[in-house]
């Protein structure tokens, strides 16, 4: 897998995942919506730590800096 998630994008994904988890744990969001948001948080964390986003790959987007040759 080619990396397509840059450093800034990675930080944003981690912060958003943390916010979603906090919303769930404080009962600001609960029920089915809470579970959906937890799944989204998990996906955000996985894509942040693997530096690969399948949706980016499908659309040809990359937030990584260009490598110098």
Tens of pLDDT, residues 21-45: 999 999 999 999 999 999 999 999 9
How far apart, in whole angstroms, are the C-alpha atoms of residue 53 and residue 61? 9
Report yes or no on 31 lying in a domain. Answer: yes
Query: Count of CB atoms within 10 A of residue 62's CB?
Result: 16
Predicted pLDDT at 1:
78
Report yes or no on 67 lying in a domain. Answer: no
Label residue 2 by pLDDT band (50, 70, 90): confident
* pLDDT above 70 (res 67): no
What's the total number of domains in the chain? 1
Q: Which domain range does residue 47 map to?
A: 7-59
* pLDDT above 70 (res 8): yes
Task: Retrieve residue 63's tokens.
Answer: 């937030």
Report yes or no on 65 lying in a domain. Answer: no
pTM for the model: 0.87
């Amino acid at each position: 897998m080619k990396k397509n998630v840059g450093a800034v994008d990675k930080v944003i994904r981690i912060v958003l995942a943390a916010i979603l988890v906090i919303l769930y744990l404080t009962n600001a969001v609960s029920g089915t919506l809470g579970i959906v948001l937890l799944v989204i948080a998990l996906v955000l964390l996985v894509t942040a730590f693997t530096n690969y986003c399948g949706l980016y790959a499908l659309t040809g987007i990359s937030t990584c800096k260009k490598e110098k040759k």
